[in-house]
């Protein structure tokens, strides 16, 4: 059931959602303890050191240059990473262009206003010139977003790399929460991807930067007691130009800075979207909002950790997927070599393992289903040394 249909039909019963949420929190905690370290074991800090030592500095310089001309790039990249990671995992499937045979994720409704694809193209071009076919588009999104967060005054969190690019991108797979979902409904999306309620409130703190179009919140401007009356009047006059669809800052205090001002605004009833304001009202989340509003450093620390966790959702690693040469198109399929009659007998059929043309299911949801009832996966000795500790440096 899509979120918009849930919102329209009201089929989700809040009490069962809350019960479900409590069970989910426990499961998510176990997943965080056992499954997440296993995924992170496949991602490594400094993955590109041997193959493309300048990769991270090339990305940083490109982001910095772009931010010098447009401060809204941080918001664009944060939203791009969210929309990528929540659909088939962080595999850059959002970057694929549609073709006559395939309508890609990019062209699904919720992705219409995702921006900065050209910046990713530029970074990819620079990386291909330096070290061809080494750095994945999925890693470019993740590292570039972190850099943009740092340059906007946010935390400098560790980004382990080694993600591979996905082989599937379908508009029909895009099922993201809309701005009118309730806290409980929104949490279903986060819990399904192994994130806790606390982390959901933290990640929604990304609305500390960027804008929303009037069409996403205009129904709140008439008689919504949870919005400050002065703000409602101001937004009404901005949104009156109905033939355009103007935008306003999601954080009415500091729209370009990654800080805790967003939460302070929520306490003043100055949240723009319904889901944002509800975080301050709902009994299960209002405590987190007050804590972050009081403690700016605490927010940054939590935000860095939550971004790191979001960046590990459903990642492809090792021989899975591919490293695209162009982030907008899948690599051409390799033609199978026709064996000559003399070698024919010696050629064994390709093993399933070696078949990289098929998209493996994202590890996130499916892997978690498989893990149900099984003992949690404890990293092997070999993997143990690769497990990275999260590091978040607050500016
Ligand atoms: C329940 C969860 C969420 C909902 C319902 C939601 C919804 C929205 C909507 C409707 C917009 C306005 C888009 C537009 O007008 O073009 C928006 C903007 C934005 N969202 Fe979210 N969002 C959610 C979670 C997140 C998360 C987890 C992140 C990142 C970690 C994020 C980052 C952003 C950013 C940075 C913008 C501003 C984009 C820009 O300026 O171009 N959002 N969101």
pLDDT at 30: 45
pLDDT in tens, the chain (395 residues): 332 332 323 232 233 333 333 344 444 444 444 445 555 558 999 999 999 999 999 999 999 999 999 999 999 999 999 999 999 999 999 999 999 999 999 999 999 999 999 999 999 999 999 999 999 999 999 999 999 999 999 999 999 999 999 999 999 999 999 999 999 999 999 999 999 999 999 999 999 999 999 999 999 998 899 999 999 999 999 999 878 999 999 999 999 999 999 999 999 999 999 999 999 999 999 999 999 999 999 999 999 999 999 999 999 999 999 999 999 999 998 777 776 555 444 433 333 333 333 333 334 434 434 333 333 333 333 333 333 456 898 86
Cα–ligand 1 centroid distance for 212 (angstroms): 8
- Pocket of ligand 1 from Cβ distances under 6 Å: 72, 75-76, 78-79, 82, 113, 115, 177-179, 181, 186, 203-204, 206-207, 209-213, 216, 250, 273, 275
d(CA 346, CA 103): 41
Residue closest by Cα to atom 14 of ligand 1: 212
Which domains does the chain show, CATH number per domain?
3-29+178-309 (1.10.420.10), 34-175+310-328+361-393 (1.10.520.10)
Output the pLDDT for position 319: 95
Judge whether 363 and 314 are in contact, CB under 8 Å.
yes
Q: List phi, psi (to 5°) of 292.
A: -65, -35
Other C-beta atoms closer than 10 Å to the C-beta of 389 total 7
Tokens standing for 122? 């530029």
CA of 73 to the centre of ligand 1 (A): 13
Helix 73-85 and helix 55-69, axial crossing angle in degrees, nearest 10:
130
Q: Whose CA is nearest to atom 41 of ligand 1?
A: 76
Residues marked as catalytic:
83
Atom of ligand 1 nearest to the CA of 215: 15
CA quadruple 11, 14, 20, 26: dihedral sign:
positive
Ligand 1 centroid to Cα of residue 79, in Å, is: 6
Nearest to 259 by CA among 153, 137, 381, 100: 153
**What's the pTM?**
0.81
Q: Considering only CA atoms, which residue is closest to atom 6 of ligand 1?
A: 179
How many beta carbons lie within 10 A of that of residue 344, not counting itself? 9
Residue bearing the CA closest to ligand 1, atom 39: 210
């Amino acid at each position: 059931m899509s979120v918009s249909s849930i919102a329209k039909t009201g089929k989700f019963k809040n009490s069962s959602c809350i019960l479900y949420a409590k069970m989910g929190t426990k499961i998510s905690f176990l997943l965080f303890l056992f499954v997440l370290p296993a995924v992170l074991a496949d991602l490594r800090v400094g993955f590109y050191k041997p193959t493309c030592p300048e990769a991270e500095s090339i990305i940083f310089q490109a982001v910095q240059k772009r931010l010098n001309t447009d401060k809204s790039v941080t918001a664009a990249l944060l939203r791009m990473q969210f929309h990528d990671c929540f659909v088939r995992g962080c595999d850059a499937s959002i970057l694929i262009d549609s073709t006559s045979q395939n309508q890609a994720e990019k062209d699904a409704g919720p992705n219409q206003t995702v921006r900065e694809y050209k910046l990713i193209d530029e970074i990819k071009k620079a990386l291909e010139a330096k070290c061809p076919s080494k750095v994945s588009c999925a890693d470019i999104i993740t590292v570039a977003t972190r850099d943009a967060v740092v340059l906007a005054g946010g935390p400098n969190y560790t980004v382990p790399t080694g993600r591979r690019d996905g082989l599937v991108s379908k508009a029909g797979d895009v099922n993201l929460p809309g701005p009118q979902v309730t806290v409980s409904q929104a949490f279903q999306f986060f819990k399904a991807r192994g994130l806790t309620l606390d982390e959901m409130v933290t990640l929604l703190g990304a609305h500390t930067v960027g804008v929303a179009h009037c069409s996403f919140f205009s129904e709140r401007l008439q008689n919504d007691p949870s919005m400050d009356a002065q703000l409602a009047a101001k937004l009404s006059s901005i949104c009156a130009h109905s033939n355009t669809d103007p935008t306003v800052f999601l954080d009415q205090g500091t729209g370009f800075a990654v800080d805790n001002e967003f939460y302070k605004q929520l306490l003043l009833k100055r949240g723009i979207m319904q889901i944002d304001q509800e975080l301050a009202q709902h009994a299960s989340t209002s405590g987190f909002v007050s804590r972050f509003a009081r403690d700016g450093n605490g927010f940054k620390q939590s935000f860095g950790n939550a971004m790191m966790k979001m960046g590990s959702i459903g990642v492809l690693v090792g021989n899975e997927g591919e490293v695209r040469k162009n982030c907008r198109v899948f690599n051409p399929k390799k033609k199978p070599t026709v064996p000559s009659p003399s070698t024919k007998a010696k050629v064994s059929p390709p093993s399933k393992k070696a078949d990289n043309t098929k998209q493996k299911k994202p590890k996130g949801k499916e892997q978690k289903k498989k893990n149900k009832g099984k003992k949690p996966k404890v990293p092997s000795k070999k993997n143990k040394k690769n497990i990275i500790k999260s590091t978040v440096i607050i500016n």
